[in-house]
Amino acid sequence: MSGFRLFKLSHPPRKTMPGATLALGALFCAALTACGGGHSHPPRPVPPVPPSPPVSQGPLYDFTEIGLPGITAGRVLRQGIANGGLVAGTSLDAAGINRAFLYNGKTNIDLGSFGGPNARAFAVNRCGQVAGWGQTAAGIPHAFFYDGTLRDLGTLGGTESWGVAISTCGKVAGWSTLPSGGRHAFYYDGKTMRDLGVFGGAISEAFDVNSVGQVVGTSTIPGVNELHAFLYDARTGAPIQDLNPPGRTFSQAYDINEAGQVAITTRDPVDEHLRAYRYSGGVLQDLGLLPGALGSEPRAISEAGHVVGYVYYPDGGQVAFVHDGTAMRGLGTLNGGRFSDANAINASGLIVGQAVNGPSGSEHAVAWGRDYGPVDLNTRVKDLPAGIELLEAVAVADDGAIAVRTRTGLGLLRPRK
């Protein structure tokens, strides 16, 4: 699964979690400006907090710095980790150049490019295959597939393409420009790049793909300035299916699991706030809100169909949540802080993300287990090197390894044996 978001629905700004540059941001910024506001609000209710954790605070971890030499910053997305200590991401060097890398469990590999200076890696599978983009000598990004050799996937006839997601079987999803200047989602089956089309208008983008070739993303629709979530199934080759919930305007599909369940975010046309949905077996389920919250946004869906993300409040605070298919549960904050966010969940239910520590106001990488959390991961590392501070847990593998953003770059946490 992947879930790299090329654009983001507008909502009150997240004060602690920096976002990526988003390809369709201008379209959403113009359409969704009513979500924020500087008005005063009554104090929000105290969000539901799980019972005090038992003695267990989760495993201890070993820490490894990852990324290419000389980096000043780095980025790993939620789909950029796989079992065996595999991590794919992007290192930013002192000259501001993006360099795609794969950490193979032992060493960092510079994936290179197609003659240009920049490259980015977004997703890796358990075989160590990577999807991303590399610039050509002309400076134009082309989608790539890496399996020991960097392969240019080409385009749908335009100039630019991005490989955004990769399945366990090495299928790639992303988007490409067209000769007409539009942008369409694609599915690469190992041989050819398939144009997934649009509902109408000129733009569609794919964000995730599973092993049977189901692809999710978003597309413009005819006649109006809206985007609708879609599902495509390569097994049938039928046109993309509209997953927009009735009565909602904008939507996008973030993540799909192997069972074909999808995490979707939508916008309410009346109050302009976001709402998380799950699609499963032809049914769209509104995941609701925690008491006092204005809106919710999903980040990921597990193989069990559990959705994680965050809700946000009138005072600008936000709290991580998990929805198990029946009810939404608040995951609490760190030491009374006002912010937490769940970025990812693995097959065993381990959730990782970020929280602001109440007393200090600083960002901390956190985890929630089935019987504990939130736990500050800085306190769970054996012999954390001096000067290293874990700011955000961005991805988690099914074997329990966690990719983290640090104050100086990137790191990998592996449970101690």
Contacts of 386 (CB under 8 A, 6+ apart): none
Instruction: Dump pLDDT digits (tens) for 351-396.
Output: 999 999 998 999 999 999 999 999 999 999 999 999 999 999 999 9
Distance, first Cα to last Cα, the chain = 27
Q: CA-CA distance, 136 to 201, in Å (whole number)?
A: 28
pLDDT for the residue numbered 225: 80
Inside any domain, residue 18: no
Inside any domain, residue 402: yes
3-state secondary structure of 106: coil
**160 token code pair:** 């630019």
pLDDT for the residue numbered 71: 84
Inside any domain, residue 258: yes
Identify which of 121, 11, 31, 105 has the alpha carbon closest to the alpha carbon of residue 341: 11
pLDDT for the residue numbered 72: 84
pLDDT for the residue numbered 5: 39
Instruction: Dump pLDDT digits (tens) for 162-198.
Output: 999 999 989 999 999 999 999 999 999 999 999 999 9
- How many domains does the chain fold into? 1
Q: CA-CA distance, 16 to 243, in Å (whole number)?
A: 31
Strand order in the sheet with 161-166: 161-166, 172-177, 183-188, 193-195
Inside any domain, residue 226: yes
Q: CA-CA distance, 367 to 383, in Å (whole number)?
A: 19
Give the residue numbers spanning the domain of 243: 25-32+61-415
Residues of the chain with pLDDT under 70: 1-55
Identify which of 13, 52, 4, 29 has the alpha carbon closest to the alpha carbon of residue 339: 13
Q: CA-CA distance, 52 to 61, in Å (whole number)?
A: 22
Q: CA-CA distance, 118 to 136, in Å (whole number)?
A: 9
Q: CA-CA distance, 106 to 413, in Å (whole number)?
A: 13
Contacts of 229 (CB under 8 A, 6+ apart): 216, 217, 218, 242, 243, 244, 251, 252, 253, 262, 264, 266, 279
CB atoms within 10 A of CB 56: 11
8 A C-beta contact, residue 347 and residue 302: yes
Inside any domain, residue 48: no
pLDDT for the residue numbered 47: 52
**Residue 273 CA to its chain's centroid (Å):** 20
**364 token code pair:** 């901390």
Q: Is the dihedral of CA 226, 230, 234, 236 positive or negative?
A: negative
Inside any domain, residue 393: yes
**DSSP single-letter state for residue 203:** B
The enclosing domain of 231 has a CATH number of 2.130.10.150
Inside any domain, residue 37: no
Q: Is the dihedral of CA 153, 167, 147, 61 positive or negative?
A: positive
Inside any domain, residue 43: no
Helix (H) or strand (E) holding 27: helix 25-31
